[in-house]
């Protein structure tokens, strides 16, 4: 159990704990007085739970109650933890539809501690795609707020790894993936665009390489956004056929996510490309000093921005990224 500064006791895991409270007082003409009392509490369950091992595809009904597993180390969100061993790079489409509460949904590469989780409106489906390397992956589904309860349906399936129809794909670790710009992708004033969401305190190198065989796009253009503010971009920065962004930490200045946009310097350009995400050792510098704008090879493109962005970006897509330590 833990005790907050306000004296609130919170159960953390099954077992017993002794809570000690001490009060001291003194006044003019009075002897100093100390009163101390102890209390032993027993936690019978409902703390961190062993993950449920599953295989793809996953389709299940669940219930969130006051004794369900804690799915975060803080915030008291409760639900279920599922674990799947991915033998190969996989695009995981996760869906959760809650009844009576706001949903919480995440997928976690168990080899690292940073991850992106999403929340939604009460009784509304949340659907997201995580692109994961071949690792053991934890999927957490439950209530977005402490004390919320109800039932839900959940599914996890492997889907096509291509970014399609303006979807935001979440990058869950070091990987490389084949993609293509098409006329059905997000259209920013004539520039077709794919989007990838990333959060990591580690350094990262993101490369967008043109496929040189038939069907490859002409002029790769890569950008990184902190909310709606572009913080880094590159056009043909690696030998005239690739774009590359290198950051000393792959997160925003306020410890939030980055969105990488892969597009072309030429309006209307379509075709195949390869995008890769490489992460290094954890960064120790302040993230606010880490992101520096890069000089483009050809200057500012005619039109650039985050697809569909209006107001606060994090509010718009319903994402939170706050260093929650996984409970393995």
Q: Is 313 helix (H, G, I), strand (E, B) or coil?
A: helix
User: Tens digit of pLDDT for each residue in 47-90?
Assistant: 668 899 999 999 999 999 988 998 887 667 899 999 999 999 99
Which run of H or E residues covers position 314? Answer: helix 313-317
**Would you place residue 38 in the very low, low, confident or very high pLDDT band (cuts 50, 70, 90)?**
confident
Closest CA to 118 of 155, 144, 139, 138: 144
- C-alpha span between 10 and 180 (Å, rounded): 49
User: Tens digit of pLDDT for each residue in 233-257?
Assistant: 998 755 556 899 999 999 988 888 9
Residue 323, pLDDT score: 39
- C-alpha span between 135 and 175 (Å, rounded): 11
Residue 241, pLDDT score: 67
Residue bearing tokens 């669940």: 62
Residue pair 70/78 in contact by the 8 Å Cβ criterion: yes
- C-alpha span between 289 and 293 (Å, rounded): 11
Residues 6+ apart with CB under 8 A from 123: 97, 98, 99, 100, 101
Residue 288, pLDDT score: 36
Res 321 pLDDT > 60? no
CA distances to 71, 128, 153, 204 from 139, rounded to whole Å, are: 10, 12, 14, 24
Residue 296, pLDDT score: 35
| 38 or 236, which is more confident | 38
**Would you place residue 111 in the very low, low, confident or very high pLDDT band (cuts 50, 70, 90)?**
confident
Which letter does DSSP use for residue 265 in this model? S
Residue pair 155/196 in contact by the 8 Å Cβ criterion: no
**Tokens matching residue 187:** 């259209």
| 277 or 301, which is more confident | 277
Closest CA to 202 of 255, 256, 248, 254: 248
User: Tens digit of pLDDT for each residue in 143-186?
Assistant: 998 889 999 999 999 999 999 888 899 999 999 999 999 998 88
**Tokens matching residue 193:** 């665009």
Which run of H or E residues covers position 130? Answer: strand 126-132
User: In a 10 Å sphere around its CB, with 0-12 CB exposed, 13-18 middle and 19+ buried, how is residue 104 labelled?
Assistant: buried
**Would you place residue 289 in the very low, low, confident or very high pLDDT band (cuts 50, 70, 90)?**
very low
Average pLDDT over residues 265-269: 91
Average pLDDT over residues 97-115: 90
Average predicted confidence (pLDDT) for the chain: 82
What distance, in Å, lies between the first and last C-alpha atoms of the chain?
A: 18
> What sign for the dihedral angle of Cα 101, 102, 107, 113?
negative
Residue 83, pLDDT score: 96
CA distances to 15, 279, 287, 309, 314 from 40, rounded to whole Å, are: 11, 46, 42, 52, 43
**Tokens matching residue 100:** 């009576």
Average pLDDT over residues 97-104: 96
- C-alpha span between 27 and 320 (Å, rounded): 49
Residue 66, pLDDT score: 87
| 270 or 312, which is more confident | 270
CA distances to 12, 160, 299, 307, 327 from 220, rounded to whole Å, are: 49, 22, 14, 17, 40
Residue 95, pLDDT score: 97
Residue 250, pLDDT score: 93
């Amino acid at each position: 159990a833990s005790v907050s500064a306000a004296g609130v006791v919170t159960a953390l895991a099954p077992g017993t704990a002794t809570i000690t409270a001490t009060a001291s007082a003194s006044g003019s003409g009075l002897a100093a007085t100390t009163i101390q009392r102890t209390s032993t509490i027993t936690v019978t369950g409902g703390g961190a739970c062993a993950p449920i091992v599953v295989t793809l595809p996953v389709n299940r009904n669940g219930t969130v109650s006051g004794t369900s597993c804690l799915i975060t180390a803080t915030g008291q969100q409760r639900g279920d933890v599922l674990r799947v061993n991915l033998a190969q790079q996989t695009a995981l489409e996760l869906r959760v539809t809650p009844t009576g509460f706001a949903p919480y949904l995440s997928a976690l590469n168990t080899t690292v501690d940073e991850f992106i989780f999403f929340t939604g409106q009460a009784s509304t489906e949340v659907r997201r795609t995580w692109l994961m390397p071949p690792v053991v992956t934890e999927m957490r589904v439950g209530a977005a707020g402490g004390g919320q309860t109800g039932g839900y349906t959940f599914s996890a399936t492997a889907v096509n790894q291509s970014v399609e129809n303006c979807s935001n794909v979440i990058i869950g670790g070091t990987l490389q993936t084949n993609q293509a710009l098409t006329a059905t992708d997000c259209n920013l004033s004539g520039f077709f665009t794919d989007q990838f969401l990333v959060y990591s305190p580690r350094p990262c190198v993101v490369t967008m390489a043109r496929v040189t065989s038939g069907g490859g796009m002409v002029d790769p253009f890569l950008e990184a956004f902190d909310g709606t503010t572009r913080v880094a971009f590159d056009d043909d920065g690696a030998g005239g056929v690739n774009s590359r962004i290198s950051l000393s930490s792959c997160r925003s200045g306020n410890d939030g996510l980055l969105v990488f946009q892969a597009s072309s310097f030429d309006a209307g350009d379509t075709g195949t490309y390869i995008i890769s995400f490489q992460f290094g050792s954890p960064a120790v510098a302040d993230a606010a000093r880490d992101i520096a704008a890069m000089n483009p090879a050809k200057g500012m493109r005619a039109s650039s921005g985050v697809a569909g962005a209006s107001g606060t970006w994090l509010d718009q897509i319903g994402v939170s990224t706050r260093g929650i330590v996984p409970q393995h």
